[in-house]
Amino acid sequence: MGSDNVRKKLFSDENLTRIIKFLVIALLALAILFMALQFSDLWNWILDAVKAVIVPVALAYLISLIIFPLIKLLEKKGIGPRGLSLAIVFILMVGVVFAAFYFLIPMVVNEIRDFFTTDLVTITDYIQTDMRTDFFLGVDIYDKIAEYLAETDFINNLLNNFLPTLIASLTSVAGPIITVVSVLPFLLIYYLLDYEMIGERLRGIIPQKHEKNAAELGSRLNQTVGAYLRGQLVLMAAIGSVATIVYKLIGLQYFYVFGIIVGITNIIPYFGAIIAAIPPILYAFIANAMGNPGPQWFTVLGVNIVLQFIEGNIFQPIIMGRAMEIHPLVILISILFFGSLFGTLGVVFASPIAASIRVFFQFFKELRLQKEGGEVAKGAKESG
């Protein structure tokens, strides 16, 4: 008797109607997906167009988060109107960039020129001649590797495939980069001139009952992402300067180039430290094998480990503060996901995007808790 009731309830009109609706929705979704796949070229074209717009706009927004607090500070000091304070900040930025290029670029260029005119030739000769006797796995292993490379013509094939691919990649990237660099200053100027007005217009799109929450959420996003970007710039300069000084103290050649690599790659979470450590360790290893003066490769490795310890335990907490409270797994997933969407820029800005997502979750969690607390208080009042 009980099984008959269960069967009648299972096959009731209400359940059958619900199942039919679900099947119809699933079939429509599959049909839409099938139609979308038939026009994959169109969707790729639309996606490329959207990316071409999003990248400069997003860069202008992120840079404005760095610059706008300086503009507001000047305005609080009575320096106005907005155009004057904006012009002063732009002049200061250009001055800092020019000074950095004026003092650093000549030394970096000299190191690069010295490497290609002296060390590169010496390293190439060493690999082709003396490396056989110094090979750490023995002469027999070296001969077998060399024989395999000669038979397969591995190096020539690698160069023949790598160079055209590299040139094609640089060519394809050069156009978008030039476009972004050309458009970005104008986007930034117009956005900063009407910063508050643009924010109000964007909030005006949102229904009035949600406008207050949207304003609060936008303010938190700006504060969090802006604090991260400003802190990251200071952090890059600090760790790059310390790396340059330490490399020079231990006697490593080309310390300016290696130090700048440490500073620049620091913007990439976790992977940046590995990328920055590889060039100086390889150079030290080969230089020691050739009998050149300089630190051992394990000394350079130890220095990079210490640098990352200092960056993670001293500079990061002091400079970044509470700007980034994100689990490493979330950042790694963000790097993979946004890197696949936007390439190098996606990797670089994965952390601020992850920080923005964290702000979203925290904000809506607070709204939910406030709503639940209000309902509890209302119920207690009614029962009282």
Distance, in Å, from the CA atom of 39 to the CA atom of 44, rounded to the nearest integer, reads 9
- The 8 Å CB, 24+ separation contacts for 11-15 are none
Residues for the chain: how many in total? 384
Phi, psi of 347 (to 5 degrees): -65, -45
Which residues of the chain have a pLDDT value below 70? 1-16, 35-43, 128-139, 146, 148-176, 270, 312-313, 316-328, 344, 373-384
State pTM to two decimals.
0.67
Neighbouring residues of 74: CB distance < 8 A, sequence distance ≥ 6 = 80, 85, 88, 89
pLDDT tens digits, 204-223: 777 777 777 777 777 888 88
Packing angle of the helix pair 40-76, 154-193 (nearest 10 deg): 50
* Per-residue model confidence (pLDDT) at position 176: 67
The whole domain housing 94 covers 64-119
pLDDT tens digits, 18-75: 777 777 788 887 777 776 666 666 667 777 777 777 778 878 888 888 888 888 888 8
The three-class DSSP label of residue 78 is coil
Residue 157 lies in a domain: no
Query: Up-side HSE of residue 218: CA atoms within 13 Å toward CB?
Result: 16
> Cis before residue 352, ω within 30 degrees of 0?
no
Residue 99 lies in a domain: yes
Residue 208 lies in a domain: no
Number of domains in the chain: 1
Structure tokens that stand for 291 in this block: 């009998």
Residue 106 lies in a domain: yes
CA angle 165, 171, 175 (to 5 degrees): 150
Amino acid, single-letter form, for residue 273: A
* Per-residue model confidence (pLDDT) at position 64: 83
Residue environment code for 209-231, b if the CB has 16+ CB neighbours within 10 A, otherwise e: eeeeebeebeeebbebbbbbbbb
Phi, psi of 293 (to 5 degrees): -70, 150
Query: In sequence order, what DSSP letters do the residues of 3-64 get, joined into one string?
Result: HHHHHHHHT-HHHHHHHHHHHHHHHHHHHHHHHHHHTHHHHHHHHHHHHHHHHHHHHHHHHH
Residue 100 lies in a domain: yes
Per the CB < 8 A criterion, the answer to whether 320 and 339 are in contact is no
Residue 298 lies in a domain: no
Residue 29 lies in a domain: no
Residue 381 lies in a domain: no
Distance, in Å, from the CA atom of 282 to the CA atom of 297, rounded to the nearest integer, reads 7
Tell the burial category of 61 from Cβ atoms under 10 Å away from its Cβ (0-12, 13-18, 19+). Answer: middle
